[in-house]
Amino acid sequence: MNDESGVERPRIGRREAQRQATEQAILTAAETVFAEAGFGGATMQLIADLAGLPKANLHYYFATKEALYRAVVERIFVIWLRAADAMDGAEGPAEGIGAYIDAKMEISRRHPNGSKVWASEVMHGAPVIQDYLETTLRDWTAGRVEVIERWIAEGKMAPVNPEHLLYMLWATTQHYADFNHQIETLNGGRRLTAAEWAKAKASVKQIILRGIGVV
Amino acid sequence: MNDESGVERPRIGRREAQRQATEQAILTAAETVFAEAGFGGATMQLIADLAGLPKANLHYYFATKEALYRAVVERIFVIWLRAADAMDGAEGPAEGIGAYIDAKMEISRRHPNGSKVWASEVMHGAPVIQDYLETTLRDWTAGRVEVIERWIAEGKMAPVNPEHLLYMLWATTQHYADFNHQIETLNGGRRLTAAEWAKAKASVKQIILRGIGVV
DNA sequence: TCCAATTCTGACCGTATGGTCAGGCTTCAG
DNA sequence: CTGAAGCCTGACCATACGGTCAGAATTGGA
């Protein structure tokens, strides 16, 4: 039963690994609670219960409720930005925007809670991530606008306003996460099946791609 | 100075009129606070301050925070449904869906707080208006789906999935209210001007109407 | 004018919440 | 093996919140 006799363990150490695992468990629990109750309605006790540790211990990892919330929001932002890569290096709008829609729909499907926390944060005036909006997001947006304008100039798509096209992409894809409860209710109270998700993706791409003169 | 000598006043009475005015002031204040802080983050004290009356008096008009919140949500729902009329009695999709987009964009512009409260309510699982979703909204949706299917059958528009088209309409138009802070930040920190709103409307209509094979 | 109904209000209460802390427990380098 | 550093925890505290209440002020019909 001597660990030292076996394969070398990664040098991260049990302790550090445990810490990271606990942190992730807390962040996931917090994401759920913040999504379901909002920042004001969420309680540290609820998050602690869901993460399976005492409230006092939660405060050992995250000093304040705000610090925990900020960590949750930043975690989402990273995922969100990663989908942006889907749009890069594409030949034209059919490929680039199509892939971006696919990527964002997949995020809505797999991280609905994260999307909700993000939406809630922005709706309340972005008290925590205002700087991200003004730097990272603004830069990213400007870059994509250029790409779209180039595609238009090259005659690869219809001349539409690039900013409003981006807003439409965000709105439509995130709607499937933020309003999933409404969608499920209108779907007879049932979650969307894999086939229904595929149909949703196809419908969104069909309308938007045709809407910008592609396909 | 005798009121009785003049024209007959509406039989509503000063008292009743005052009561209704106070109620509306409270509802508007509550809408703002709920939109900015969420249900959990809103406090009766803040709402009372914004409405300009003592907290105890607020409780005279609305017994509990939940009752006040419910009144706010119902008030929004009515406005929301009224926009639905824009889609009725239209010859075809160009007219009907175009008018619906215009109406919903106008609501986003004039009632952003209402839209946010609605979005927040749905995001949190619709604890208060679940019955509306299952009755009024479901019926309304079914009716519009029929209309769209008829238009498709008559060859007036491309064959798209009606439900997902409706989701796209809701998502896109409401985005301009719910995410107005993000849009304003990307707009250089400035609110949209009348001209910019017109451009937004035109862009949305252009892409969606072309997307469904109209125009 | 009078008085009953309605509206308003400051002071108060119980509870729930975010956060603290002293001290116990576990891990691991030397 | 040992002890210091890191991790965990029950009990506790101050505060802020939703809601109550007794009674004052106002209104309007008779």
Encode pLDDT of B201-213 as tens digits. Answer: 999 999 999 999 9
**First vs last Cα of chain A: how many Å apart?**
63
Q: How far is CA B94 from the centre of its chain?
A: 23
The pLDDT of A36-44, averaged and rounded, is 98
Look at residue B141 in the predicted model and tell me its pLDDT.
Answer: 95
Look at residue B105 in the predicted model and tell me its pLDDT.
Answer: 97
Residues in chain A closer than 8 A to B42 (CB atoms): 40
| Whole-number percent of chain B with pLDDT over 90 | 87
Contact (CB, 8 A) for B151 and B92: yes
Look at residue A14 in the predicted model and tell me its pLDDT.
Answer: 72
Check pLDDT > 60 for residue B6. Answer: no
CATH class in words for B3-63: mainly alpha
Closest nucleotide relative to residue B13's CA, C1' based: D28
Check pLDDT > 70 for residue B195. Answer: yes
| Whole-number percent of chain A with pLDDT over 90 | 86
Span of A63-67, B13-17, B44-48 with lowest mean pLDDT: B13-17
Both structure tokens of A89: 């290096």
The pLDDT of A201-206, averaged and rounded, is 98
Measured CA A15 to C1' D3 distance, in angstroms: 18
Amino acid at B147: V
- Cβ of B70 near strand D (under 7 Å)? The reply is no
Check pLDDT > 90 for residue A45. Answer: yes
The pLDDT of B4-12, averaged and rounded, is 38
Look at residue A82 in the predicted model and tell me its pLDDT.
Answer: 87
Look at residue B15 in the predicted model and tell me its pLDDT.
Answer: 77
SS3 A91: coil
A142-146 long-range Cβ contacts below 8 angstroms, 24+ apart: A144/A84, A144/A87
In chain A, residues under CATH classification 1.10.10.60 are 3-63
Topology (CATH level 3) of domain A74-211:
Tetracycline Repressor; domain 2 (1.10.357)
Look at residue A44 in the predicted model and tell me its pLDDT.
Answer: 98
Closest nucleotide relative to residue A22's CA, C1' based: D7
Average pLDDT, chain A: 92
In chain A, residues under CATH classification 1.10.357.10 are 74-211
Question: Which class for A168: exposed (0-12), middle (13-18), buried (19 or more C-beta within 10 A)?
Answer: buried
Cβ of A178 within 8 Å of Cβ of B207? The answer is no
Contact (CB, 8 A) for A31 and A114: yes
Q: How confident is the model at residue B10 (pLDDT cuts 50, 70, 90)?
A: very low
- Among the listed residues B110, B118, B130, B21, the one whose alpha carbon sits nearest the alpha carbon of residue B69: B118
The pLDDT of A192-196, averaged and rounded, is 98
What nucleotides of chain D have any atom within 7 angstroms of a protein Cβ? 6-11, 16-22, 27-29
- Find the largest Cα–Cα distance for chain A: 69
Both structure tokens of B148: 């769209």
Look at residue B90 in the predicted model and tell me its pLDDT.
Answer: 92
The pLDDT of B114-135, averaged and rounded, is 96
Q: How confident is the model at residue A4 (pLDDT cuts 50, 70, 90)?
A: very low
Q: How confident is the model at residue B12 (pLDDT cuts 50, 70, 90)?
A: low
Both structure tokens of A38: 């909002």
> Residue A182 is nearest to which of B122, B172, B212, comparing CB atoms?
B122
Residues in chain A closer than 8 A to B141 (CB atoms): 186
User: Which residue is associated with the tokens 């208060």?
Assistant: B128
Give tens-digit pLDDT for A86-123.
888 899 999 999 999 999 999 999 999 999 999 999 99
Residues in chain A closer than 8 A to B45 (CB atoms): none
Both structure tokens of A80: 């969100």
Check pLDDT > 90 for residue B11. Answer: no
Dist CA B176 CA A210 (whole Å)? 22
Angle (nearest 5°) at CA A121 between A101 and A142: 50
The pLDDT of B32-36, averaged and rounded, is 98
